């Protein structure tokens, strides 16, 4: 198979057109429209049960949609059996054949394609070099560690040059250090091989590190779609804000709309100088600010541009490179402040009265329910 590099780049590599999937009475996917661009690394992110694995199974052909069409590279493949789709898939539990050696495992897709044994030998050797495990060809998968098994699973996928690789939480079973190593490894392979990758994970950090674009799913629907920056800095719903990164949330009402929006909350007024879709005063909203954008001010300091509310220190925890302070506001709600640790840093003691402050630019206004329908700023 030759990868269609010369094909036009405007056709999406994968297109889910109004796809719905029901399992009995459960709605796993509710009329999803999703385009995956050629050569991009797209992550399907969401809590369990949000429909991300269902999307993968629909693309691979393991299940069929209840309604809608699925297109790959401009062809309608909704009815095509999985073995004709020419995709690659990496499973969370690796799915290596336990009765075959590593060599035979990787040779499997080539034998299916009836390649000559000489060709198979060179191809397997090449791909084993690519995943940096040239010495394990004659071993059984059970003799390898989890990380090595996953690399073999990836090699088995790369060996037949599928234009699309589907990955279902491939690093989920590995420990943290190995997972981070493998994330970089996957990024390297994706960049050097020009493949379209569709990656499923429930780990937001992993999604932020690896993706060109993230599709955030919630309850069978697309909550938000965009670059990691988009999702992190311009969440369009409470769900997005809370799922990606840490967030401090306050409730309030719009007091004054305009270029700078003023919101009244139980702990005082806040201003937001970001564009948002709320014009009507009196609308109940939520405001969100990331912990790393909040800082603690000793009492007495003042700054016009800052939102400033009184707070009481509750606890401080150092996480290596960062230090998190937990504070309580006047109305009982809590706020987390995250700062970089420096040697000799002093933090106010627990119980002391301080101010927490953040800039109006870092204040994000979100609807109480649903999502803002304005497009996120182009990235």
Partner 1 sequence: MADSNLRRVETLGGLPPARGTVWVAWFMFFFLIAPSLIIIPMSFGDLNEIYFPPRSLSLFLYREYFFESVWMETTFQSIKVAILSTMAGMFLGATAAYGIVRATFRGKKMLGALLLSPLFVPNIVIALGLYIYFARMGLQGTTFCLVLGHTLFVTPFVMVVVMAALRGVDPNLEAAAKTMGAGRIYTFRRVTLPLLRPALVTGGLFAFLMSFDELVISFFLSGFGTQTLPVKMYDSIVLEISPVLSAISVLLTLLAFVICVIITIFYNPDRRTRLRLTGEAETETKTTET
Distance CA 84, CA 77 (A): 9
Indicate the Cα dihedral angle 297, 298, 300, 305, nearest 10°. Answer: -10
Q: E strands within the chain?
A: 14-23, 26-36, 41-45, 67-72, 75-76, 88-90, 164-168, 196-201, 213-218, 221-226, 248-256, 261-265, 268-272, 284-289, 295-297, 306-319, 322-329, 334-340, 353-359, 364-367
Distance CA 105, CA 226 (A): 36
Only one of the segments 84-92, 232-240, 247-255, 331-339 lies at the binding site for partner 1 (rule: CB under 8 A); that segment is 84-92
Token look-up 């990164």 returns 245
Indicate the residue among 60 and 328 with the shorter CB distance to partner 1.
60
Q: Taking CB under 8 A as the rule, does residue 73 contact partner 1?
A: no
Distance CA 160, CA 24 (A): 36
Is residue 223 a contact partner of residue 371, using CB atoms and an 8 Å limit? yes
**Residues paired with 92 in a beta bridge:** none
Distance CA 333, CA 279 (A): 26
Q: Which of residues 177-196 bind partner 1 (CB under 8 A)?
A: 178
Burial of 122 (0-12, 13-18, 19+ CB in 10 A): exposed
Distance of CA 319 to the CA centre of its chain: 23
Is residue 254 a contact partner of residue 281, using CB atoms and an 8 Å limit? yes
Farthest CA pair distance, the chain: 80
Q: Taking CB under 8 A as the rule, does residue 80 contact partner 1?
A: no
Burial of 359 (0-12, 13-18, 19+ CB in 10 A): middle
Only one of the segments 83-91, 210-218, 227-235, 280-288 lies at the binding site for partner 1 (rule: CB under 8 A); that segment is 83-91
Indicate the residue among 177 and 342 with the shorter CB distance to partner 1.
177
- The nearest distance, CB 188 to partner 1, in angstroms, is 16
Distance CA 114, CA 169 (A): 30
Q: Taking CB under 8 A as the rule, does residue 68 contact partner 1?
A: no
Q: Taking CB under 8 A as the rule, does residue 36 contact partner 1?
A: no
Q: Taking CB under 8 A as the rule, does residue 161 contact partner 1?
A: no
Indicate the residue among 144 and 272 with the shorter CB distance to partner 1.
144
Q: Work out which of 113, 138, 188, 305 binds partner 1, going by CB under 8 A.
A: 113
Q: Work out which of 7, 62, 119, 184 binds partner 1, going by CB under 8 A.
A: 62
Token look-up 């994968």 returns 14
Q: Which of residues 287-306 bind partner 1 (CB under 8 A)?
A: none
- The nearest distance, CB 346 to partner 1, in angstroms, is 38
Q: Phi, psi at residue 17, to the nearest 5°?
A: -110, 105
Indicate the residue among 86 and 268 with the shorter CB distance to partner 1.
86
Only one of the segments 70-78, 138-146, 271-279, 283-291 lies at the binding site for partner 1 (rule: CB under 8 A); that segment is 138-146
- The nearest distance, CB 149 to partner 1, in angstroms, is 9
Q: Work out which of 76, 143, 194, 256 binds partner 1, going by CB under 8 A.
A: 143
Q: Taking CB under 8 A as the rule, does residue 199 contact partner 1?
A: no
- The nearest distance, CB 178 to partner 1, in angstroms, is 7
Distance CA 322, CA 342 (A): 9
Q: Taking CB under 8 A as the rule, does residue 346 contact partner 1?
A: no
Indicate the residue among 98 and 118 with the shorter CB distance to partner 1.
98
- The nearest distance, CB 370 to partner 1, in angstroms, is 36
Indicate the residue among 81 and 282 with the shorter CB distance to partner 1.
81
- The nearest distance, CB 38 to partner 1, in angstroms, is 20
Indicate the residue among 88 and 367 with the shorter CB distance to partner 1.
88
**Distant-in-sequence, close-in-space partners of 78: CB < 8 Å, separation ≥ 6:** 64, 65, 68, 69, 70
Q: Taking CB under 8 A as the rule, does residue 156 contact partner 1?
A: yes
Q: Work out which of 71, 108, 232, 278 binds partner 1, going by CB under 8 A.
A: 108
Instruction: List residues near partner 1 by CB under 8 A.
Output: 60-62, 81-89, 91, 93, 95, 97-99, 108-109, 112-113, 132, 140, 142-148, 156, 160, 166, 178
């Amino acid at each position: 198979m030759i990868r269609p590099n010369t094909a036009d780049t405007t056709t999406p590599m994968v297109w889910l057109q109004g796809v719905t999937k029901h399992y009995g009475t459960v709605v796993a996917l509710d009329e999803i429209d999703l385009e995956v661009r050629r050569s991009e690394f797209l992550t399907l992110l969401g809590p369990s049960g949000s429909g991300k694995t269902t999307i993968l199974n629909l693309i691979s052909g393991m299940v069929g949609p209840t309604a809608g069409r699925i297109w790959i590279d401009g062809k309608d493949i909704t009815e095509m059996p999985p073995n004709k789709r020419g995709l690659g898939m990496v499973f969370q539990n690796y799915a290596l054949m336990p009765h075959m050696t590593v060599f035979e495992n990787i040779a499997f897709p080539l034998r299916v394609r009836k390649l000559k044994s000489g060709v198979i030998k060179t191809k397997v050797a090449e791909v084993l070099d690519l995943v940096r495990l040239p010495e394990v060809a004659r071993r059984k998968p059970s003799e390898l560690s989890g990380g090595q098994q996953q690399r073999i699973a990836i090699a088995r996928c790369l060996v037949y040059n599928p234009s699309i690789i589907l990955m279902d939480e491939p690093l989920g079973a590995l420990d943290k250090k190995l997972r981070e190593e493998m994330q970089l490894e996957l990024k390297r392979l994706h960049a050097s091989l020009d493949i379209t990758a569709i990656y499923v994970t429930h780990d937001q950090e992993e999604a932020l590190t690896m993706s060109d674009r993230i599709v955030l799913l919630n309850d069978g629907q697309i909550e938000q779609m965009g670059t990691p920056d988009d999702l992190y800095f311009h969440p369009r719903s409470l769900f997005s804000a809370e799922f990606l990164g840490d967030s401090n949330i306050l409730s309030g009402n719009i007091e004054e709309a305009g270029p700078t929006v003023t919101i009244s909350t139980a702990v005082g007024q806040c201003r937001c100088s970001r564009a948002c879709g709320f014009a009507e005063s009196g609308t109940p909203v939520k405001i969100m600010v990331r912990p790393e954008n909040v800082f603690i001010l000793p009492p007495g300091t003042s700054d016009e541009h800052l939102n400033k509310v009184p707070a009481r220190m509750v606890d401080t925890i150092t996480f290596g490179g960062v230090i998190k302070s937990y504070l309580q506001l006047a109305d009982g709600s809590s706020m987390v402040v995250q700062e970089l640790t420096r040697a000799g840093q002093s933090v106010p003691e627990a119980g002391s009265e301080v101010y927490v402050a953040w800039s109006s630019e870092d204040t994000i206004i979100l609807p109480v329910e649903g999502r803002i329908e304005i497009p996120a700023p182009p990235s």
